[in-house]
């Protein structure tokens, strides 16, 4: 890896749950090379999933050390348009948080590491640079 990667919540959670999984190994590699990034939605999703105040504080400190990506100015109209296009294609399960994450990845011209199949649906109407070696049934 030689460029920043936005790591989606699903990849972080897989890494936390299965520390020896291929996804966890990739996240560790990205972290060691200072290439793992987050955005506001991912940060909020991860922090709200903590169980204790000390776990929250520890994770919050870790996340503060990562590059933080933000979406561009036309975020709301763009994700409204993409949501509209998805629904016209018959994809109705992609929520606003995933649209914001996708917009953040696109606006920052970075790849997205995710296990969430919604991003594959999204990429059919809005090209994304997905790291595709993982997904349902990943090794």
71 lies in some domain: yes
93 lies in some domain: yes
**Is residue 1's pLDDT more than 70?**
no
pLDDT of residue 92: 83
131 lies in some domain: no
pLDDT of residue 36: 97
pLDDT of residue 137: 44
Task: Using pLDDT thresholds of 50, 70 and 90, give the confidence band for residue 76.
Answer: very high
Which residue, 60, 61, 5, is CA-closest to 28? Answer: 5
Written as six digits, the tokens of 4 are 């920043």
| Cβ(33)–Cβ(58) below 8 Å | no
**Is residue 136's pLDDT more than 80?**
no
97 lies in some domain: yes
Task: Using pLDDT thresholds of 50, 70 and 90, give the confidence band for residue 133.
Answer: low
> What are the pLDDT digits (tens) for 3-58?
999 999 999 999 999 999 999 999 999 999 999 999 999 999 999 999 999 999 99
Q: What's the mean per-residue pLDDT of the chain?
A: 91
128 lies in some domain: no
Q: List the domain range (segments joined by +) for residue 41.
A: 5-122
Q: Say which CATH number the domain at 81 has.
A: 3.40.50.1010
127 lies in some domain: no
**Is residue 2's pLDDT more than 90?**
no
- Nearest-angstrom CA–CA distance, 33 and 49: 26
| Cβ(6)–Cβ(121) below 8 Å | no
Q: Could you give the number of structural domains in the chain?
A: 1
130 lies in some domain: no
pLDDT of residue 44: 98
End-to-end CA distance of the chain: 19
112 lies in some domain: yes
């Amino acid at each position: 890896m030689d460029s920043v990667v936005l790591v989606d919540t699903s990849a972080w959670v897989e890494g936390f749950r299965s520390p020896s999984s291929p996804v966890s190994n990739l996240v560790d590699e990205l972290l060691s090379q200072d290439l793992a990034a987050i955005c506001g939605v991912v940060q909020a999703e991860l922090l709200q999933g903590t169980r204790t105040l000390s776990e929250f504080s520890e994770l919050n400190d870790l996340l503060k050390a990562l590059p933080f990506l933000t979406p561009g100015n036309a975020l709301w109209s763009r994700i409204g348009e993409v949501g509209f296009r998805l629904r016209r294609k018959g994809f109705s399960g992609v929520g606003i948080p995933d649209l914001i994450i996708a917009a953040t990845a696109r606006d920052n011209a970075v790849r997205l590491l995710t296990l969430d199949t919604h991003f594959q649906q999204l990429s059919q109407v809005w090209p994304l640079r997905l790291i595709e070696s993982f997904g349902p049934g990943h090794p």
